[in-house]
Structure 1
Amino acid sequence: MGTLIGYVQSARPDLTNRQMALLLVVYLTDGPHTVRGLAAKLKVSKPVVTRALNTLGALGYLRRQKDESDLRNIFVERTAQGTAFLDEFSELIDRTEAKGARH
């Protein structure tokens, strides 16, 4: 709870649970990741993934890249900004846990 309160109070953009889940799947599982594959993994429709990707792409956390060998596929790739965001989020979790251990 402390982590989420700290996150809400920060200047970071608010991500929905769906956006955060998508971001974590891309960063914590081996790729390549496609819109179709992410939709199947999360058990949601491709338009749902596309909407989340629109937001995450606008924030610079993920990038879409066309598959040159099959133009129907779109690869979803990690970015330096997304890595930095998740590193900061991880640090926030660590700080919150450290505070809890001291109380």
Structure 2
Amino acid sequence: MCRGLTAPANGAEVPLAGRVAVVTGAARGLGAAIAAKLAADGARVVCLDVPAAGEQLAATANEIRGYALQLDVTADTTPARLAHYLVRRFGGVDIVVHNAGITRDKL
């Protein structure tokens, strides 16, 4: 799906080097593609999705050499838990892509 976007070529520009990005809904589709592009541009990417998407989320994070977090962004405790993790692990966050969503018709 997003193969070949995970590592810049030698001498290639990495505009997001040193930046930390968080992408919700990152297990598949647009979220996975966004995470791959951010990683290709040099960001350290934290991929979030619901626990039910755990295997796909891990695969996406592994493919881009990112970090996988199984969290439900609709849970009341998630913002505080996520902020605590990001500050402790990375010193903060630079980019947030809130891509999580639900579809009622499963399209």
Scaled by the length of structure 1, what TM-score is found?
Answer: 0.27
Relative to total residues, which structure has the larger strand share, 1 or 2?
Answer: 2
State which structure, 1 or 2, has the greater radius of gyration over its C-alpha atoms. Answer: 1
Scaled by the length of structure 2, what TM-score is found?
Answer: 0.26
Relative to total residues, which structure has the larger helix share, 1 or 2?
Answer: 1
